[in-house]
Amino acid sequence: MRNSEIVIGSRGSDLALWQANYIKDLLEKEGHAVRIQIIKTQGDIIQHLSFDKMEGKGFFTKELETALLANQVDLAVHSFKDLETNQPDDLSIAAILNRANPADILLIRKGFTDSNERWTLKKNIKVGTSSARRKMQLTLHRPDLEIDDIRGNVPTRVQKLRDGHFDAIVLAKAGLDRLNLDVSDLDAFEFDPREFIPAPAQGALACQIRSSDTELAEILKALHNTKIANLVATERKVLNLFDGGCQLPLGAYCIETAEGVELRAIMSPRYGEMPSSVFLKAKTTDGLAQKAAAQLKKKVLA
């Protein structure tokens, strides 16, 4: 058992605190003393820009990583999809947990559905998302939709929908499930992640620590899911090969099958340009991300 208290660094949003408390509870069940420290990130402070218009990468993670390096916290709990694919020096991922539902979901105001239209969305309605990846796929399949930026935490975005600022919004199903929000007053359509490709590692949680903290690394081994880690590493490798972050319109989704693994990926050089997609099957994930990225690059150049 660790002699000193484990300090978890977390953003202050409802979802980030749910994730931090989830890890806290698991560690406390093992007899460890744990405390959460809230840290504001660039993504929390800058609310007037969509991610594709913000400079740099790691909008929800850099300040947490700085706190780790400064020994202000011992552990940062991240939505793995928010983490840059290249780890800063002296930091490492000690555990990747069981993956929640990786799909995106549409929440739709009553009266704005049409069962004859794709995803049950009425024609020419206003959909809120600040994700370049979601914008790309919405526009690809439903060019009639008006896509507008929406920022704020999950409850804030849901309230903006209820208040009529949007007719529908797109969220990660995992975040909605974790917060257990009551959205029974809204209609919902859950995307098939094999068709509407999620962000790499969407739904997975990652525990980041200082590489030198071997004691905490040993403690976190009990939380690590090797199978999930391998699948999401493949997705994130596709993103890494394009040197991308939140602002890159790219989705990747890797799953196990009876025959091996399947990888689906979609991207465009920037939002507004026609995307390219790939679908690969293999026995293992070895080299799969590299093959997908090479095919995507070839298609984009073509």
By annotation, the residues acting in catalysis are 82
Query: Are 299 and 266 spatial neighbours (Cβ–Cβ below 8 Å)?
Result: no
168-172 and 104-108 as β-strands: parallel, antiparallel, unpaired? Answer: antiparallel
| CB neighbourhood size of 276 (10 A) | 18
Query: Are 251 and 102 spatial neighbours (Cβ–Cβ below 8 Å)?
Result: no
Residue 181 to residue 8: CA distance in whole angstroms: 24
Residue 43 to residue 23: CA distance in whole angstroms: 22
CB environment 98-121: b (16+ within 10 A), e (fewer): ebbbbbbbbbbbeebbeeeeebbb
CA atoms within 13 A on the CB side of 64: 34
**Among 90, 86, 45, 43, CA closest to 66:** 90
